[in-house]
Structure 1
Amino acid sequence: MRKWMMGLLLQAGVMVAAFAQEQVPSPPAPPETGNLVVEIKPFTSEQELPAKAAEQLKSGGLEWGVRDGKMVFSMVGKQFIDFPLNHMTRYGQQESLSLPAGEYRVTGIGLEMHTSFSVKKVLERGAFFNEDVVVFRIEPGKTTTVSINPIIRKDAIFGSTFYVPTLMASVRNEAGETPPVALNVRGPTSIAWPQYTGPLKFVAK
């Protein structure tokens, strides 16, 4: 009788174990991904620049980052921005990375240069946010290109020291290319640095 009971318990244990194995959920399928190319064109200028300034700009580039459906290009130093600006692509170069499929929104952080001995004053007077000025999609298995054309316009030359390019952004995919949009030009929808309360501005705690 005892052996029979032990055998029954053993069989029951095997059955429970087998049932438990059948109930283990399969791992979720990996998210579908597509390819993003960030293309930074060589800078151009609407007027001739001093040789030294032109040489410095040739070796310059743009800082940007992408996370959780948001892409940010910034003319403000990354120490003042609470977003991973972990890419720096030089003028005339491009960078490619794989991203989860879905919608992405581009924000430009602009900076109009003002002479001041205080960084805080420069930011308060000159920095601003252009939120969600470009929207694009990453499609599974396909390539989307965000193209940035940096143009130094006559009205964006501050004195004879600061040369700030206007970043004209367009999106290119199989359907064609969108009209260019300025990422770092102050407009009616821009949010000035002091008035901005969103997540992109670093605030020391």
Structure 2
Amino acid sequence: MTKALILVDVQNEYFDGGKLPLPDMDEALTHIEALLTCFRSNRAPIFHIQHFALTADGPFTLGSPGAELHDRVKPQLTMQPPEIVIPKYYTNAFRMTWLAAALQGSGVSEVVVVGAMVQNCIDATVRGADDFGFKVTVASDACAAAPITLKDGRVIEAATVHDLFLEALNNVADVLPTTEVIAVIEQERDHAADHVSWGG
């Protein structure tokens, strides 16, 4: 399968008890799990992006509980192919990481991106993937955003931020709900099975 799943920063910091809890992260996690199950059952490549802060006193500090990947998405390192964890230090998961090389080395030409947060790391990573020539799909309900406070004090609610940024990403990616992403994968799998050449 030439399609890979990229989980961006599905870390404790974005959930209740973390330093940056997102309003819709629990709901997004349910959809992320569905995609994980789909990719695992198809033995497709899975990449976990884990953000670490360059400072020692904020969120995502190396070694802190908040920086750990959420228990419900812990990578299965004994899978074939094994799920890969790639650390990052910037919003774009391709910046100064080996993600592009790992995807290319796995024969990946398409990626499905999920995680947090939409207006930062999802946006930057999707655009980075497009820059590297990957076909990109964003599972819209498997991503979460944070509210934005404008300079004049007005607050843009997280749901609006989520929708606006994903609408803008339609220029470089297919933005689809998880059910449709999974349906496409199943169609591609069935199509491939129907066209297996047995030789002889």
The structure in which a higher percent of residues are helix is 2
Q: Under TM normalisation by the shorter chain, which class is it?
A: under 0.3
* Higher-Rg member (1/2): 1
Higher strand fraction: Structure 1 or Structure 2? 1
Instruction: Give the structure-2-normalised TM-score.
Output: 0.24
- TM value normalised by structure 1: 0.24
